[in-house]
Amino acid sequence: MEETAPGKGGKRKGPGGREKRSSPDEKRHLKTRYSPFEKAEEGFFRALIESTNEVIGVLDEHLNIRYLSPSTERISGYSVREVLGQNALSFFHPDDAGELAERLAGELLEKGMADNVQFRWRRKDGSYRWHEATVFDLREHPAVRGIVVNARDITDRKRAEAALQESEERYRRLVNTSPDAIVITDISGRILMINQAGTALLGYEDAGEIVGKNVLEFIALEDHARAVASMRTRTPGESARREEYVLVKRGGHRIWAEISASLLRDAEGRPAGFIAITRDITEHKKARLGMEKLNRCFLSLGHNSMENIASIVRTGADILGAQLAHYGRVEKGRFFLFTSQEAEKGFLPRENPDRLLAYRLLRRGEEIPLLREDLRRQGLEEELEEICRDFGEILSYCVKLKGEPVGNLCFFFSEKRQFTPADMDILIMLSRALAIEEDRWLYEQGLRDFIDVASHELRHPLALLSGFSELLEEHGTEMEESARKEALSAIRLSTERLTNIAEGLIKSSLLERQLFTIERREVDLVVLAEGAAMEMATRFPERDFQVSCPRKAAFASVDPGRVHDVLIILMENAVKYSSPGSPVEAVVEPGEEGVLVSVLDRGKGVEEENRSRIFERFYQEEKAQYHSEGLGLGLYLARRIVEGHGGRIWHDHRPGGGSAFRFFIPHP
């Protein structure tokens, strides 16, 4: 018969639950079992159990709840009565119950206990709290005969761990997705961690192939001493040290890298290692070194434009790593080619250049850099095969001056390569430098031509003045009247010619100094053209000057004196370069946007390559000398006057032979 603890008045309950009065012997036995010391000890442990924040429970072999400490209500919201007799697994989270039952069955059978058992326990409000428990199998213990569970609430710890894990995962993702290489080493430089960017930077696919190696294995030998000194000379409180090194990738390929390294310390403040952020600066370094070479080249340029062009081309080949460089240009109808292989020969004329790649590219005048594949697509197969069979890549760029192609720059490379934006920047800067030298050469060539022409043009009237003045001085009183008048007329014409030359130079100077003013007023350009034709007819009575207009008038807001000068310049050109007796025509065509004026002749015309250049100052066409004034200023002055009105002037070939010089003056 099982007995329970004695009740009030020494009464006990039997199997049926009825009260039995104790005999005197039984009372003595009870007093012996529950001594005052044991009662005090029982109260002590009960107080501990009731006040603890942990849950203490006893389960039977089927995991039914036999006992739960009073803290259950405070922690879960359930009273002890509500859960006694229920299966503990029914309170576990569904995702935890099966695994937990399996683990308890295994570990309790094997070890008699299970430690660090974590599960989610359902509260009365339906929420779940994380608990961690230690479980003991005391089913064989006579005083317990059950499975004892000692559990504590770890929800806050779990949340902290989850937050920490999330933070670590975020940090890990940040490190692994960083575009810069991140490396952590110990104090000796042994690699402990390297991210994906670092692995790729060094030419590897798996970070495991790098971890454990020393960073010095990836630093170029010539930089070892500097790297070791940097690691050994860190000072307390020093921020990240930024330095540049040459790194050796897998396979031996070398790159420039910028390494920003900081010292790591342990919990006691002692140096423990380094964290380094590494960035590939190879292209930046190449661009910087290229700029330094380019600046040195520019600073070394002298007074000879052709030598300067050759120096710029050679420097470009050096910066870009080209095995060959070509620069082709046209001057006075002939094609000249400079090659870096024969630099000492300078620019050599090439006869029949139509099959030369540089000449073909110059004639095309492309606005963008061209690669070998671009040239192949443009149908330059034969030219490529002839010159480029030993080269894997080509980089070509057209040099332009005032929108017109004046040269072509070509670089040839032994292997196929990818060009970076920095390479293209260098190419464009080379092109601009070449354009400046071409402009300088043209200006100097124009001055040389001006000096030659001026010497010739001035020599004749000055000789006439000197000769006839000396003749009149010595023999004037003896000369016949007709001879004296002829001498005086020659002196007058020579004086007028010198005056015209001087006026041309003065006008050119005013234009260059922006002192050439335009004073507009509304005038009829037909009347201006007729006035210019009458003046020319007086000067050249043997020629026929015609003015026509589809309407009666063609009004425009212009400076009449300046436009009169343009008409005279163009008519003088027509007279000078057309056969005697052929007419000179001026056609005035008014329109909605402005007025178009054309001066037409039946002369020899202008060479195609010189049509735009004849309007430059001092420019002389070699074959035709196509200018109204001997110094090469007439058409230049006409262009500047027309442009001062917001218009433009150009040359067209006239059907049937001859030239058509046209200018358009827009309405304001």
If we measure between CA atoms, which residue out of 347, 438, 346 comes closest to residue 399? Answer: 438
What are the chain's domains? 21-136 (3.30.450.20), 178-280 (3.30.450.20), 287-515 (3.30.450.40), 517-666 (3.30.565.10)
Helix residue spans in 187-343 (DSSP H)? 196-201, 224-232, 282-300, 305-320
Task: Give the mean pLDDT of 409-415.
Answer: 92
- Retrieve residue 40's tokens: 């005090």
625 has pLDDT over 50: no
pTM: 0.52
DSSP 79-91: -HHHHTTSBGGGG
Q: How far is residue 96's CA from residue 99's CA, in Å, rounded to a whole number?
A: 6
Per-residue b/e over 566-598, b at no fewer than 16 CB within 10 Å?
A: bbbbbbbbbbbbbeeeeebbbbbbbeeebbbbb
pLDDT grade for 527, boundaries at 50, 70 and 90? very high
Please report which confidence band the pLDDT of residue 173 belongs to, taking 50, 70 and 90 as the band edges. Answer: confident
Amino acid found at 416: K
- CA distance linking residue 425 with residue 418, whole number of Å: 14
- pLDDT tens per residue, range 123-132: 999 999 999 9
Contact at 8 Å (CB) between 153 and 130?
Answer: yes
What is the rounded radius of gyration, in angstroms, for the C-alpha atoms of the chain? 52
Residue-wise pLDDT tens digits, 239-249: 788 999 999 99
Distance separating alpha carbons of residues 515 and 36, to the nearest angstrom: 127
Lowest mean pLDDT segment, chosen from 92-106, 178-192, 462-476, 507-521: 507-521
DSSP 8-class letter at 420: P
For residue 66, name the pLDDT band (cuts at 50, 70, 90).
very high
* 78 Cβ contact list (under 8 Å, min separation 6): 72, 123, 124
Neighbours of 129 (CB within 10 A): 16
Rounded to whole angstroms, how far apart are CA atoms 378 and 363? 13
Mean pLDDT within 420-445 = 90
User: How far apart (Å, rounded) are the C-alpha atoms in residues 431 and 425?
Assistant: 10
